[in-house]
Amino acid sequence: MSNRLEALRVFCTAADAVNFRDAAVRLSVSPQVVTRAVRDLEEELGEPLFHRNTRGVQLTDFGRGLADRARAAVDGVDGLFHRSDRRALSQHAGTVRVAAPGVLGRRLIPQALAPMLVAHPGLTLDLRLSEQLADVVDQQIDVGVRIGPLRDSRFVARPVAKVPFRVVAAPSLIARTGAPDSIEALSALPRTALIDRNSGRPWPWLFSRGRQLPMPPAAFITDDTDAEFAAVLAGLGFGQLVASMAQAALDAGQLVSVLDAEAPEPWPMYVYRAQRAPVPARVRLVYDELVRALG
């Protein structure tokens, strides 16, 4: 047999059996397969492994010594693929590295995946927060989440939701400046700016019918969504925020929404992974759960 490990496995079974026919039954193969495997080993090792007679087979001294070493070798290889506690570790044991923007990763993703992680002991979530599109190869990312366009044939991507944006401000700022009634009026008021880490430039503000509002010198500039949110809450400027981030503050009266009629088309949200095979069961589990939870 070309597969030495399989030949040793057959030999170990034959060594514990009454005869080759008994070994074949245990292995669910034909007796000829057992005979051929033993013969191939004898030819390769240059030693007889069994004494054969009409009553059955019996290990030679050399065969007896080989059987002890072969069992250890076969058991060692089998142990590489055996989980000691299937319920505790299961096929999903291991680490899955997920990349996501901070606006989702700080709150939503840990909460969404918590029940799945509890249900699969041995599965570890390694969550990396970044507004940049993760390089799945260099950063060894298994699954990514992105808000905005995703046009890359290297990824298996699923659109899962639409993400709306709202222009909001603190009541204290509106008391000082008034609420803008047009995009042009907003352009003259203090605003916050969020840096796009992919380009190093501030994200433009988007509005209906494809209109954009370029960023002049802003009252507050950051590359972190939480910092921008805090600045808007503090009344430093109007901000264009992901609606889900602003909603609780809007409900509590801490923020006021303006120019709702001019809101842009919601951006798509994607869950993606690299196009590589095989896909480990733990990666597929996290990918499918993110698609379900974020959708």
| Measured distance CA(54)–CA(267) in Å, rounded | 79
- Report residue 289 CA to chain centroid gap: 10
- pLDDT value of residue 86: 47
Residue 98 and residue 127 in contact, taking contact as beta carbons nearer than 8 Å: yes
Out of 135-139, 222-226, 252-256, 280-284, the most confident range is 252-256
- Report residue 202 CA to chain centroid gap: 29
- pLDDT value of residue 136: 54
* Residue 168 in this model has a pLDDT that exceeds 80: yes
Q: What is the pLDDT of residues 231-259, one digit of tens each?
A: 999 999 999 999 988 999 999 999 999 99
- pLDDT value of residue 198: 78
H-helix or E-strand containing 46? none
Residues in the chain: 295
The residue among 191, 153, 180 whose CA lies nearest residue 259 is 180
Q: What is the CATH number of domain 94-162+268-294?
A: 3.40.190.10
* Dihedral sign, Cα of residue 68, residue 74, residue 78, residue 80: positive
Taking each helix axis from N to C end, the angle separating 108-119 and 281-294, rounded to the nearest 10 degrees, works out to: 130
Average model confidence (pLDDT) across the chain: 86
Mean pLDDT over residues 45-71, rounded? 86
Q: What is the pLDDT of residues 99-136, one digit of tens each?
A: 888 878 887 889 889 999 988 888 899 998 876 665 55
- 4-80 and 94-162+268-294 agree in CATH topology: no
**pTM tops 0.75, yes or no:** no
* Residue 137 in this model has a pLDDT that exceeds 90: no
Q: Are strands 143-147 and 94-100 parallel, antiparallel or unpaired?
A: parallel
Predicted confidence band of residue 87 (pLDDT cuts 50, 70, 90): very low
* Residue 73 in this model has a pLDDT that exceeds 70: yes
- pLDDT value of residue 81: 65
Mean pLDDT over residues 159-178, rounded? 95
Both structure tokens of 209: 């019918």
The SS3 of residue 56 is strand
Phi, psi for residue 78 in degrees, rounded to 5: -60, -35
- pLDDT value of residue 252: 96
- pLDDT value of residue 2: 47
- Which top CATH class is 165-265? alpha beta
Written as one string, the DSSP assignment of 273-289 is EES-SS--HHHHHHHHH
Both structure tokens of 82: 């055996």
Question: How is domain 4-80 classified at the architecture level of CATH?
Answer: Orthogonal Bundle (1.10)
Q: What is the pLDDT of residues 172-211, one digit of tens each?
A: 999 999 999 999 999 999 999 998 887 888 888 999 999 9
Predicted confidence band of residue 171 (pLDDT cuts 50, 70, 90): very high
| Measured distance CA(167)–CA(246) in Å, rounded | 9
| Measured distance CA(190)–CA(292) in Å, rounded | 39
Residue 168 and residue 141 in contact, taking contact as beta carbons nearer than 8 Å: no
Mean pLDDT over residues 25-47, rounded? 89
Both structure tokens of 179: 């609420």
Single-letter amino acid, residue 152: D
Answer with the residue of higher pLDDT: 215 or 39.
39
Q: So where are the chain's domains?
A: 4-80, 94-162+268-294, 165-265
| Measured distance CA(30)–CA(14) in Å, rounded | 13
Dihedral (Cα; 204, 205, 211, 213), 10-degree rounding:
-80
- pLDDT value of residue 167: 97
H-helix or E-strand containing 291? helix 281-294
Alpha carbons within 13 angstroms on the beta-carbon side of residue 123 total 23
275-280: which pairs have CB atoms within 8 A and are 24 or more residues apart?
275/153, 275/154, 275/155, 275/156, 280/94
